[in-house]
Amino acid sequence: MAHAAPASGGTTGAAGTPDIFSARTHMIAKWAVPVVLGLVYGYWAAANRRDGGPITGWNLLLGFVAALAFAVVYVALRQLAPRMKREVHALAWMSFAGIAFGFLYSQTGATVLRSTVMALAIAATVFAILFYRYYTREDAEGHRVS
* pLDDT tens digits, 106-134: 999 899 999 999 999 999 999 999 999 98
DSSP collapsed to 3 states, 29-89 = HHHHHHHHHHHHHHHHHHHHHHCCCCCCHHHHHHHHHHHHHHHHHHHHHHHHHHHCCHHHH
Cα dihedral 3, 5, 11, 17 sign: negative
Instruction: Let me know the angle formed at the C-alpha of 55 by 53 and 58, rounded to the nearest 5 degrees.
Output: 115
Q: What is the pLDDT of residue 20?
A: 86
Which segments in the chain show pLDDT lower than 70? 1-16, 140-143, 146
Q: What is the pLDDT of residue 87?
A: 87
pTM flag (> 0.85): no
Q: What is the pLDDT of residue 135?
A: 85
- Spacing of C-alpha 107 from chain mean position: 20
| Domain definitions of the chain by residue range | 22-83, 85-146
* pLDDT tens digits, 95-107: 999 999 999 999 9
Q: What is the pLDDT of residue 67?
A: 96
